[in-house]
């Protein structure tokens, strides 16, 4: 019965491990944190995670007969040693199998170029440490990218405040394996800084009160404030933008009304131009271009001295 139970457990663990391998992303250099999380999950579900923290069993030393040792005592010592050897063989075989599986999973979820750059190891613990040390430098670059994304993250009412906080929490959680975990109080202020100015009063009320919120309290209060603001402003947080649009629509409609009003106004009588009539003084027998007062005005605007005989010269030409 014990053998059948152990066999079924082994089969179950094998199939769990095979199923989890499909969910493990290929380690490419910039996704070490996500890859490590999936690897750890696969080992736990396959019940081989113990091999990462458990050293390989050491073979017991064979007993040595002492001087004047009784035959019965020696027989007992040999019998105990046989039992130890049997237990060692079982534990050693179990450890070797689990270690081999873990090494195979890790090597088959890493890009070939990266596998070639990591020296061979006999244990999964040592191999994992070498991978971690190799990606320390790349993890620093990844950490910088995460911090930049956290600082520049901004709220959008299309997604909602809950999704916004969860998205920022996910980014912050990726910093924990790099020893860059953010304190809750600092992270709460970082979330407040990402909210639009419509939340200013809400943030000020939090800052003036002595109570400090945890993440659950923050989530509940932000969702409540978002619902209140949407109820007040017709379902949108960015109500200032909506008002601008409404004002623009109102201005355009008013302009169209003015145009329509102008179209419906009776047209005034247009001035009829006679032949040889000046358009500047409305007198006859000369044109605007030859009228001295008009020329004087134009030349004064351009800073040109006016010649009184200029009009006469133009007529004689």
Quick one: tokens of 24? 């493990």
More confident call, 31 vs 205: 205
Contact present, 278 and 288 (Cβ < 8 Å): yes
Question: Residue 144 — very low, low, confident or very high, per pLDDT cuts 50/70/90?
Answer: confident
**pLDDT confidence of residue 18:** 67
Displacement of CA 90 from its chain's centroid (Å)? 48
Quote the pLDDT of residue 239: 44
Between 273 and 90, the higher pLDDT residue:
90
What is the pLDDT, as a whole number, of residue 87?
92
Q: Is the pLDDT of residue 10 over 60?
A: no
pLDDT, average across residues 48-54: 92
Rounded to an integer, the average pLDDT of 103-131 is 88
Question: Between 251 and 77, where is the model more confident?
Answer: 77
| pLDDT of 252 strictly over 50 | yes
Q: What is the pLDDT of residue 243?
A: 45
Residue appearing with tokens 């943030």: 203
Buried b / exposed e over 199-227, threshold 16 CB at 10 Å, is beebbeebeeeeeebeeeebbeebeebbe
What is the pLDDT confidence band of residue 223, given thresholds at 50, 70 and 90? very high
In the prediction, which pLDDT does 117 show?
Answer: 79
Q: Is the pLDDT of residue 42 over 80?
A: yes
Question: What is d(CA 148, CA 223) in angstroms, rounded to the nearest whole number?
Answer: 25
- What is the domain partition of the chain in residue ranges? 2-62+79-134, 149-232, 274-317
How far apart are alpha carbons 298 and 306 in whole angstroms?
9
What integer is the mean pLDDT of 138-148? 76
The pTM for the full model equals 0.44
Confidence of residue 193 (pLDDT cuts 50, 70, 90): very high
**Residue 102 near residue 51, CB atoms below 8 Å:** yes
Of 292 and 76, the one with more pLDDT: 76
Is the pLDDT confidence value at 55 over 50? yes
* pLDDT for 307: 63
Say how far apart CA 288 and CA 123 lie, in whole Å. Answer: 104
């Amino acid at each position: 019965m014990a053998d059948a139970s152990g066999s079924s457990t082994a089969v179950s663990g094998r199939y769990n491990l095979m199923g989890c391998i499909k969910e493990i992303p290929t380690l490419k250099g910039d996704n070490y944190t996500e890859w490590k999380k999936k690897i750890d999950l696969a080992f736990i579900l396959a019940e081989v995670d113990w091999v990462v923290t458990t050293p390989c069993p050491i073979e017991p030393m064979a007993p040595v007969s002492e001087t004047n040792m009784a035959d019965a005592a020696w027989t007992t010592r040999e019998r105990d040693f046989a039992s130890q050897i049997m237990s060692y063989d079982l534990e050693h075989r179990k450890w070797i199998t689990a270690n081999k599986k873990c090494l195979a999973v890790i090597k088959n979820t890493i890009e070939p170029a990266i596998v070639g750059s990591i020296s061979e190891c006999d244990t999964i613990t040592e191999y994992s440490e070498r991978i971690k040390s190799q990606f320390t430098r790349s993890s620093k670059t990844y950490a910088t990218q995460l911090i930049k994304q956290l600082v520049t993250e901004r709220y959008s009412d299309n997604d909602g405040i809950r999704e916004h906080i969860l998205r920022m929490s996910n980014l912050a959680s990726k910093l924990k394996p790099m020893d860059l975990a953010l304190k809750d109080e600092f992270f709460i202020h970082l979330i407040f800084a990402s909210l639009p100015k419509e939340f200013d009063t809400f943030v000020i009320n939090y800052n003036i009160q002595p109570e400090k919120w945890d993440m659950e309290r923050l989530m509940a209060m932000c969702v409540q404030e978002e619902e209140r603001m949407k109820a007040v402003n017709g379902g949108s947080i960015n109500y200032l933008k909506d008002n601008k649009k409404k004002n623009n629509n109102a201005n355009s409609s008013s302009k169209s009304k003015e145009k329509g009003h102008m179209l419906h106004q009776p047209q005034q009588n247009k001035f009829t131009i006679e032949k040889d009539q000046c358009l500047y003084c409305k007198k006859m027998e000369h044109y605007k271009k030859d009228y001295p007062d008009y020329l004087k005005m134009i030349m004064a605007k351009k800073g040109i001295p006016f010649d009184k005989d200029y009009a006469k010269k133009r007529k004689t030409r």
